[in-house]
Structures are given as C-alpha cells and as structure tokens.
Structure 1
C-alpha cells in the first residue's frame, strides 16, 4: 500500500484523474471500476476536462459500476448508476456497450452477481478499481463482517450506511440491501485506489490503516495490498500517526 497525502480535495481529485489518464494512455482497453458518491465527483470533473482537451481517449476503455442499492432502477435519480451516467459517462458520450452495471432491480440478484464476475473475468480482470470508504469502514457496499474472499454479492446494509445514504437522495428513500463488487475484486485489481477527504473520515481512516486487519473494518484489507494507492487530504489523515487501535 502506498499512502499519498494532498493538501485538499481538489489536489486529490486531480491526482486520481491523472492516475486514470496514465493508465488509459498506457493501456487504452483498460477495465476500470468507478464508484458513485462525493469522493470521486471531482475526479470525474477533471477526467471530463482531460477528455475535452484531447489528453485522454476512452474509446477502447471498459467500465464497471462498483455497486447499487437493491431494488433501485437505473433510471432512478437516487441510483448509483444514474449518478455515474450524469457525472461521467453521458458528458463523454461513452456508449453503453463499454459499461456494465448491476441491475439491482432484477428478480435474480445472484445471477446479476455472477454476470458481473464473469464480465470482469472475461475482460482479464480489473486494471483500476476506485473506491471510497464509509463511516463504518465499508468499501463499496461490503459491510463490516464481509469475508475478504467475497466476489460480487448482495447483502443487508448496516443502519449507518442506510442513514448516510439519505444525503444522496432527492427524497426520503428506504434502502436495506446493497449489491456490490467484492473485496476479492479489490485485492485482485492491478491498481486499487482509495480516495478519502475531510475530517469526518479521520477516525475511520486511522482504524483502517493503523489498526488490525479485520473484517470488522473492511477497508483494513488495504494494508495487505501491495499495489494499493491511498489518496488522502491532510484532514482525513490527521489521526493516522497518533491512533492506536
């Protein structure tokens, strides 16, 4: 794991976007996993700018969505899929043939998980997997207690995840279950990337990176991943050197 510290969110966003730029320049047909949420929004804005400036060409690149709220249709403005389309795929006119999302409204969620696993495997595995971290240490929707060897799966959400999720929704929406790529996908990605900013994440980052490696804190798996890139601003990293779990 390589820890990279930046002054603020803007610097993190540029650095993460530049990592993607270098990856796609090096391997145009890369397979990249992108998440929704606050953390990567600045990265998407910068990537769109890079593409509009002609610095990056996504015409051969394939993408997968990290996770989704179970039961939510992709056209729902509260969905992770809608978020990614709005902030990245639609501004760059990336065709649907290059993107694979979970269908969280499907009747057979196990089949959806298997489709995702097979899709990633058939394309040679993830080159880059970008994630954020939840207040309880979750990665994607891999909640505390998730086995590190788990691939794509669906499972109940902890109350804190369901509560925090409300800030992304335009109206009150009850979510109880998530479908997500697994921690095994993160471990097998050639370059796992964690983006974290803000004081509110300082406590969980200290536990994840300074504490024991445990399924109680899913993000602690990053300590075991040699190729992982962890991008933090000073606020998110403020307790890393002093916290002892």
Structure 2
C-alpha cells in the first residue's frame, strides 16, 4: 500500500532556505527588524520620488501591519511630505449585502488605516483624503483605471495568506497562470480556509462572525507593480514561503506567480524561516 506523499520543498532546512529560491528571501533576526526594513523602504521611495518631483504610488495591505507605526514615526521625524502620494489599499471586507463593512467595525481595513496611519501623521505632511483609495465593490474598475492612469504602483506591499493568496486573490486551480495573472479588481467570496485562519487572528476564533464577502484588488494590479515586497510573520508561513519560493507556478497557489516578477522579495523573521 502506497504511503502519503509529501512535497520536498517543505523539507528545505533553514541553512538551505534561499538558495536557488525563485523569489528572493530576506531573513531578519526579529520581526521588528523586518518591519523596520519595510517601513524604511516606503519612506525612502517617497523621499526619492519627492526629490525628483515625481508622485509615489503604493499598494498597501492591512496584514502585515507592524511596519505602519514605524512608517508614521519616520515620516513625522523626517518631515516627509506625503502630499504627492497615492495609497491604494488592497481590499476590504463586505457585508452580506455587498457594502463595505462600516469603518467603525473592528475588522474594517478602512478603519484600521484611519486609526493607525492617517490620524497619526502630522496634518501638514498627510496624504490628501482623495488619494487614499480603497476598492469599490460597486465600481471595481474605477480603481484599476486610476492606478493605470497614474502609471501603476511603484511598490506593492503585502503578505501571503494560507492559500497562497495575495490580497484576496485566492486559489482558482481551474485557471492557467496567465488567466489568473490578468484578473482585475472584483468582489469575491472568501475561501473557508481563509475565513478560519483570519477568525483565529482577528476574532479569537469566532468563525461564524467572519465576513463571507470581500472586494480585492486584482492580480493584474499587483503583478504590474514595479516592486513587490511581502512580509511573513505567522508560524504557518514556514510552509507558505517554501511553496512560494520553490513550488510550481500555478493559480492553485497564487503567490507563485511572483516567481516571474522582476523585483519581488519576501521578508520574514528567523522564527518563521527556521520553524522554531
């Protein structure tokens, strides 16, 4: 009787991790160091573009979020103007009726950005409200058109979900990688695996209270960014990063499409890289 088969990339040890990786891996000793690297990259990109008289366009996540307090502190300390910045947030939870969850909802990404980022930045430096973009469930194409008009994102920041998803672009194995890469911003039903994992992190396991719908920026918009920077800090990212960097490119595990991106990196802590 044949035994259960395991994928060899999950057996890659800490000392081998990164060698021949199809997405470059950056291991930091502590999560705080990785968060600092992400925040610093945000600030330095804005400073560089400000000096050249160019706008800065970012795609931003709410997860990971540890870099935002550092970003806010650096912006305020260095007096970095965000007046010519555009922040496109990746996604937002929706009610069963297909509307954004209220900004006051503890799960709202719009509420998080307001509380943690925008309200903490000195007013004379802050991003104009009309340049803080969230995908619109009723007109998802509007954000895509605006992002394209602005020349695409300079950097897309994000994390990787349990199904290998970026934003809420979850596994669709019936699609080819090319078809998946062309998906635009759209409303989606959230996968059961994602609802379960997110309920653990966000609602202490209250699975029945997790939203079932979301609006997500498209894979096309993410893959069109000039750079992609991902941060991984959960224990289960041990396996996710290995499949991302060494697995087959497939719509079954969307992050693998970044193996074809010219400038993508994955940041993680030593604990995630080593599994202990």
TM category (shorter chain) comes to 0.7 to 0.9
Q: Indicate the residue corresponding to 2:26 in structure 1.
A: 4
Given candidates 34, 54, 70, the residue that maps to 1:46 is 70
Given candidates 53, 56, 65, the residue that maps to 2:80 is 56
Q: Indicate the residue corresponding to 1:18 in structure 2.
A: 40
Deviations 1:149-184 (A, max 9, x none): 112112211101112222324876231122111111
Given candidates 163, 175, 179, the residue that maps to 1:136 is 163
Shift of 1:2: 3.1
TM-score by length of structure 1 reads: 0.87
In structure 1, the gaps of 5 or more residues are: 240-245
- Give the Cα separation in 1 of the matches to 2:218 and 2:131: 21
- Give the Cα separation in 2 of the matches to 1:220 and 1:235: 22
- Give the Cα separation in 2 of the matches to 1:143 and 1:73: 24
Q: Indicate the residue corresponding to 1:91 in structure 2.
A: 120
Q: Indicate the residue corresponding to 2:92 in structure 1.
A: 68
TM-score by length of structure 2 reads: 0.78
Query: Do 2:165 and 2:171's aligned partners in 1 also have CA atoms closer than 8 Å?
Result: yes
Structure 2 residue 222 is the aligned partner of structure 1 residue 150: no
- Give the Cα separation in 1 of the matches to 2:258 and 2:136: 28
What is the RMSD of the two structures over their aligned residues, measured on CA atoms?
1.9
Shift of 1:24: 0.3
Q: Indicate the residue corresponding to 1:77 in structure 2.
A: 106
- Give the Cα separation in 1 of the matches to 2:69 and 2:88: 18
Query: Do 1:74 and 1:103's aligned partners in 2 also have CA atoms closer than 8 Å?
Result: no
**Quick one: structure 1 residues 215 and 140, their matched pair in 2 at CA, closer, same or farther if it must change by over 3 Å?**
same
Structure 2 residue 259 is the aligned partner of structure 1 residue 229: no
Which piece of structure 1 moves more, 14-23 or 226-235?
226-235
Structure 2 residue 59 is the aligned partner of structure 1 residue 33: yes
Q: SS at 1:53's partner residue?
A: helix
Structure 2 residue 239 is the aligned partner of structure 1 residue 189: no
Query: Do 2:136 and 2:143's aligned partners in 1 also have CA atoms closer than 8 Å?
Result: no
Q: Indicate the residue corresponding to 2:209 in structure 1.
A: 173
Query: Do 1:73 and 1:103's aligned partners in 2 also have CA atoms closer than 8 Å?
Result: no
Corresponding pairs, count:
231
Query: Do 1:2 and 1:226's aligned partners in 2 also have CA atoms closer than 8 Å?
Result: no
- Give the Cα separation in 2 of the matches to 1:199 and 1:173: 24
Q: Indicate the residue corresponding to 2:3 in structure 1.
A: none
Deviations 1:93-113 (A, max 9, x none): 433122111244xxx3xx2x1
In structure 2, the gaps of 5 or more residues are: 1-22, 96-100
| Divergent runs of 4+, >4 A | 169-172
Shift of 1:56: 2.6
